[in-house]
Amino acid sequence: MHANLASPRPTIARVEPLTRTRAVRGPFDYRLRPEQREVDVGAVLRVPFGRRTTLGVVLALATESELAPERLAEPDAVVGPGVPADLVELAGWMAEQYCSTPARALSLLLPPGAAAGGREPKPILVGEITEPGVRALRGGERLTERQRSALERLEQGGPTLATALGTATLRRLAARGLVALRPLGRTSPAASMGVGRRLEGIPSLTGEQRDALDAVLGALGGAGSGERAAECFLLHGVTGSGKTEVYLQAVQAVLAGGRGAIVLVPEIALTPQTVGRFQDRFGDIVAVLHSGLGQRERHEEWLRLRRGEARVCVGPRSAVFAPLADIGLIVVDEEHDASYKHEGDPRYDARAVAQRRAEQHRAVLLAGTATPRPESVVSLRRLRLPHRIDGRPLPPVEVLDMRGRHHSLHPRTRMALADVRAAASKAIVLLNRRGWSNFLSCRGCGRVWMCPNCEVALVLHRAQDQLACHHCGHRRRAPDSCPECGSVAVARHGTGTESVEQELREAFGSELPVFRLDADAAAAKGRLAQTLARFEAAPSGVLVGTQMVAKGHDFADVALGVVLDADQTLRFPDFRAEERTFALVTQLAGRVGRGQDGGRVLVQTLAPEARSITLAAHHDSEGFLAEELRRREALAYPPYGTLIRIVCASADADDALALATRLHGLIVPSGATVLGPAPLFRLRGRSRSQLVIKCHDRLPTLRAVGAAVDACASDAVRRGISVSVDPDPQ
Ligand code: ADP
Ligand code: ZN
Ligand code: ZN
């Protein structure tokens, strides 16, 4: 734009203060000082606000304000580099789409560390347990529950990032000499990521890969050229069909055209090889943003993107906010993965945000998976890779009926594992439940050990001799006897990854080493990648764990995959239960038989006839999708309708219910179907009441919900009731 002499540089900044409260909504006008006149939309300012100061983001600039100039305050300072203007617009969109506020949405996409006020990022601390710390754990030293659990995790997991365990907790322990804290040395993101196979050079594509890539390149050629909207593709390729190579070559083309790319992956710790492939191929032009990095490193990577020194950003869902100036392509790898949904307010879905960002930049969206979501099948243009590279077949899947059986392993599973041991090859065993057993009960009086804060049973973790709540983290010592009746007969029910690990060790001895991968075994950052690397390096062994073991790992030589209790996910009262179960079985099968010798999969279940299990056993994703879409349509579930969930939580059950009822009354006139209020189980000491809203007119309903929540906001705050709104719940 030309500088117009008649219109002077704007002197007023419209600033959104970054407060958490719903009640305060900007923007507010501030008068820029002469030396601040260079600020632009997206600048981060420290501004006086009421009696204090706060950070704020410039939403717009103006030459005049409705308020007289002398009534306007001046910003104290400009903080850091600010965010690009397109992200400010994106935040506004997110606030509306997720019934949140612009301030909350903006807080998510500030430069790392900006929330701390733009000061030099603090050093990243690593904690390590000391000798006195170990003694304190054994002896009767006074420890709070949190301190004890932090010490235990340090003892088991080795040195751990302080933030993972609570820096404040560790500082207090350090003051008592129980923990040593030291700053982390600079670690290279690539250094810890040696898992997986890498090809020398760039492979020539198969015909199917070529066709898929050509479609993307065609869209890239047209993208950015004025009228065209973003083009969005779904790369539906079976596991091992070479989707990553298509992403890589599409990114190559985007870079050659002078634009940038974002590559979203589910969780870096679980998919280090994907990141490694991008770094190997493109070198320094790749920035990696992930939670294993300290704030300083994240800040540096962010700045490299902002300055254009890096033009490819690889990272988990928050990487969708990478500050790239000109985006040509956004890749969403494993688009079915639940980690793309953010659990805090705003409860954004990175897949939807990616699509919005692609529209803003007229970029191409490329979402890939072997198990697409019904939503994506309906809304994206599908490209298919129906065969594995080299034409290796998908492994045969056998369903094993567990009804009437009392051991956790079916005889055929035992035999198959014995074969694996005899052949000195590898197996993966998936059980989506950690711990030793699901719950404990007293044989004398039937008492079940429950969490004091939540209405759920406590799970036994035998390694620590503890009972743990998987919802709130409460832990206590495992009981020797019943406090009600004094009986010492305590029954353990069900199995978890911990007991399966033990069972495998006992059954197969040291010839078949067992590696466990779950949130307990991986409590320390870096342990996940280590376990994966050890399993990969071992000549033979079993990897046992939760759904983590089924994520996109590319191990060459896994001959057997086993799913235990496959219908476990089906028992959740959730319309996505079928989709999840199908994906879990299919994704595990995807890890198997990638080597020369092929492989096979066994699925143990109490529901051998369940559609999601039989269709997964036949690798029939078309059949599954067709039927799932029919079912969703009949019930007006996504993608044929929008769901919005509202949860009111309060120490007092009546308060939560009363607020949900009031919201119900406020939302009904919008014409949406409002189900509830329904009680949810008590969580973290708070009673909960839920509404589910079903609608066809998404935006008007979201606005009605937002208005209803706003109307109740100050009352809710006063009475200590929290309200969370979750559009598109997972
Ligand atoms: P997916 O992501 O679809 O599961 P991957 O991208 O992991 O599949 O590819 C599976 C394996 O095949 C990888 O080891 C990859 O390097 C290799 N590969 C991919 N494309 C080709 C190709 N055109 N020629 C040879 N090998 C390939
Ligand atoms: Zn009892
Ligand atoms: Zn609990």
Q: What is the pLDDT of residue 198?
A: 43
Evaluate if residue 7 carries a pLDDT over 70.
no
pLDDT band at 529 (very low <50, low <70, confident <90, very high): confident
Whole-number Å distance between alpha carbons of 445 and 624? 45
Residue 460 Cα to ligand 2 middle (Å): 17
| The residue type at 433 | R
Using a 10 angstrom Cβ sphere, with 0-12 exposed, 13-18 middle and 19 or more buried, the burial of residue 688 is: buried
Helix (H) or strand (E) holding 674: strand 673-683
Whole-number Å distance between alpha carbons of 389 and 246? 12
pLDDT band at 577 (very low <50, low <70, confident <90, very high): very high
Ligand 1 atom 17: residue of nearest CA: 242
Give the pLDDT mean for 107-126: 70
pLDDT band at 196 (very low <50, low <70, confident <90, very high): very low
Q: Dump pLDDT digits (tens) for 494-505.
A: 899 999 999 999
Q: Is 240 in the pocket of ligand 1 (CB under 6 A)?
A: yes
Using a 10 angstrom Cβ sphere, with 0-12 exposed, 13-18 middle and 19 or more buried, the burial of residue 337 is: buried
pLDDT band at 524 (very low <50, low <70, confident <90, very high): low
Q: Which atom of ligand 1 is nearest to the CA of 199?
A: 16
- Tell me the two tokens of residue 549: 């073991």
Evaluate if residue 634 carries a pLDDT over 50.
yes
Whole-number Å distance between alpha carbons of 156 and 523? 9
Give the pLDDT mean for 67-71: 86
- Tell me the two tokens of residue 231: 């083009």
Residue 551 Cα to ligand 1 middle (Å): 15
Evaluate if residue 8 carries a pLDDT over 80.
no
Q: What is the pLDDT of residue 188?
A: 35
Q: Is 239 in the pocket of ligand 1 (CB under 6 A)?
A: yes
- C-alpha dist (Å) from residue 169 to 151, 603, 730: 10, 43, 32
Q: Is 333 in the pocket of ligand 1 (CB under 6 A)?
A: no
Q: What is the pLDDT of residue 353?
A: 98
Evaluate if residue 79 carries a pLDDT over 80.
yes
**Which residues share a beta bridge with 441?**
448, 491
Residue 457 Cα to ligand 2 middle (Å): 15
Q: What is the pLDDT of residue 186?
A: 34
User: Looking at per-residue confidence, does 211 or 38 come out higher?
Assistant: 211
Residue 141 Cα to ligand 2 middle (Å): 30
Q: What is the pLDDT of residue 131?
A: 83
Residue of 236, 244, 278 best suited for mutating to test ligand 1, as the one with most atoms within 8 Å of CB: 244
Q: What is the pLDDT of residue 209?
A: 98
User: Which residues have C-beta under 5 Å from ligand 3, the single-atom ion?
Assistant: 451, 453-454, 469, 471-472, 474
Evaluate if residue 225 carries a pLDDT over 70.
no
Give the pLDDT mean for 624-650: 95
Ligand 1 atom 9: residue of nearest CA: 242
pLDDT band at 297 (very low <50, low <70, confident <90, very high): confident
Residue 524 · residue 157 · CB < 8 Å: yes
Give the pLDDT mean for 592-611: 91
Evaluate if residue 265 carries a pLDDT over 90.
yes
Instruction: Single out the residue of 584, 596, 514, 573 nearest to residue 548, CA to CA.
Output: 584
Residue of 239, 333, 551, 554 best suited for mutating to test ligand 1, as the one with most atoms within 8 Å of CB: 554
Evaluate if residue 268 carries a pLDDT over 80.
no
Q: What is the pLDDT of residue 190?
A: 34
- Tell me the two tokens of residue 666: 């406020």
Q: Is 345 in the pocket of ligand 1 (CB under 6 A)?
A: no
Q: Is 249 in the pocket of ligand 1 (CB under 6 A)?
A: no
Helices (H) and strands (E) in the chain, counts: 20, 30
Whole-number Å distance between alpha carbons of 650 and 721? 5
- Of the listed ranges 119-128, 242-251, 438-447, 481-490, the one predicted with least confidence: 119-128
pLDDT band at 124 (very low <50, low <70, confident <90, very high): low
Mean pLDDT of the chain: 89
Residue 379 Cα to ligand 1 middle (Å): 26
Q: Is 197 in the pocket of ligand 1 (CB under 6 A)?
A: yes
Evaluate if residue 44 carries a pLDDT over 60.
yes
Evaluate if residue 127 carries a pLDDT over 70.
yes
Closest ligand to residue 481's CA: 2
DSSP letters of 109-132? TSPTTGGGTSPPPPPPEEEEE-HH
Q: What is the pLDDT of residue 118?
A: 47
Give the pLDDT mean for 217-237: 79
Helix (H) or strand (E) holding 152: helix 145-157
**What's the alpha-carbon Rg for the chain, to the nearest Å?**
27
Whole-number Å distance between alpha carbons of 335 and 331? 9
Percentage of the chain exceeding pLDDT 90: 68
Q: What is the pLDDT of residue 455?
A: 92
Residue 686 Cα to ligand 3 middle (Å): 10
Q: Dump pLDDT digits (tens) for 373-407.
A: 999 999 999 999 999 997 888 999 999 999 999 88
Residue 446 Cα to ligand 2 middle (Å): 6
Question: Which alpha helices (H) appear in 178-263, and where do they start and end?
Answer: 207-222, 243-256
Whole-number Å distance between alpha carbons of 620 and 600? 16
Q: Is 206 in the pocket of ligand 1 (CB under 6 A)?
A: yes
Give the pLDDT mean for 363-373: 97
pLDDT band at 182 (very low <50, low <70, confident <90, very high): confident
Percentage of the chain exceeding pLDDT 70: 93
Residue 462 Cα to ligand 2 middle (Å): 20
Q: What is the pLDDT of residue 523?
A: 66
- Angle (nearest 5°) at CA 141 between 136 and 146: 80
- Sheet containing 125-129: which strands, arranged edge to edge? 160-161, 125-129, 179-183
Ligand 1 atom 12: residue of nearest CA: 242
Q: Which atom of ligand 1 is nearest to the CA of 204?
A: 23
pTM of the model: 0.85
Residue 730 Cα to ligand 1 middle (Å): 30
Whole-number Å distance between alpha carbons of 130 and 128? 6
Whole-number Å distance between alpha carbons of 506 and 504? 5
Ligand 1 atom 20: residue of nearest CA: 242
Evaluate if residue 183 carries a pLDDT over 70.
no
DSSP-derived pairing of the beta strands 52-62 and 514-517: unpaired
Evaluate if residue 243 carries a pLDDT over 70.
yes
Residue 566 Cα to ligand 1 middle (Å): 28
Residue of 209, 245, 280 best suited for mutating to test ligand 1, as the one with most atoms within 8 Å of CB: 245
Instruction: Single out the residue of 529, 704, 713, 489 nearest to residue 25, CA to CA.
Output: 713
Give the pLDDT mean for 268-282: 84
- Angle (nearest 5°) at CA 580 between 502 and 705: 125
Q: What is the pLDDT of residue 115?
A: 63
For the stretch 63-78, what's the b/e string if a residue is b when 16 or more beta carbons lie within 10 angstroms of its beta carbon? Answer: eebeeeeeebeebeeb
Q: Is 276 in the pocket of ligand 1 (CB under 6 A)?
A: no
Q: What is the pLDDT of residue 229?
A: 61
- Of the listed ranges 227-236, 327-336, 425-434, the one predicted with least confidence: 227-236
Evaluate if residue 189 carries a pLDDT over 70.
no
Longest dimension (CA), the chain: 89
Evaluate if residue 319 carries a pLDDT over 80.
yes
pLDDT band at 3 (very low <50, low <70, confident <90, very high): very low
Q: What is the pLDDT of residue 199?
A: 44
Q: Is 209 in the pocket of ligand 1 (CB under 6 A)?
A: yes
Q: What is the pLDDT of residue 290?
A: 79
Residue 688 Cα to ligand 3 middle (Å): 14
Residue of 195, 198, 199, 264 best suited for mutating to test ligand 1, as the one with most atoms within 8 Å of CB: 199
- C-alpha dist (Å) from residue 681 to 213, 600, 685, 714, 722: 48, 40, 10, 25, 15
Residue 334 · residue 368 · CB < 8 Å: yes
Residue 486 Cα to ligand 2 middle (Å): 6
Helix (H) or strand (E) holding 282: helix 272-282
Please provide residue 514's backbone torsions phi and psi, each rounded to the nearest 5 degrees.
Answer: -110, 130
Give the pLDDT mean for 434-454: 93
Q: Is 349 in the pocket of ligand 1 (CB under 6 A)?
A: no
pLDDT band at 689 (very low <50, low <70, confident <90, very high): very high
DSSP letters of 576-596? THHHHHHHHHHHHHHTSS-ST
Instruction: Single out the residue of 71, 31, 60, 23 nearest to residue 47, CA to CA.
Output: 31
Give the pLDDT mean for 468-492: 93
Q: Is 243 in the pocket of ligand 1 (CB under 6 A)?
A: yes
Q: Is 199 in the pocket of ligand 1 (CB under 6 A)?
A: yes
Residue 553 Cα to ligand 1 middle (Å): 12
C-alpha 47 chain-centroid distance: 33
Q: What is the pLDDT of residue 106?
A: 96
Ligand 1 atom 18: residue of nearest CA: 242
Q: What is the pLDDT of residue 120?
A: 46
Whole-number Å distance between alpha carbons of 593 and 91? 44
Whole-number Å distance between alpha carbons of 413 and 561? 10
Q: What is the pLDDT of residue 46?
A: 95
Closest ligand to residue 333's CA: 1
Whole-number Å distance between alpha carbons of 405 and 411? 10
Residue 441 Cα to ligand 2 middle (Å): 8
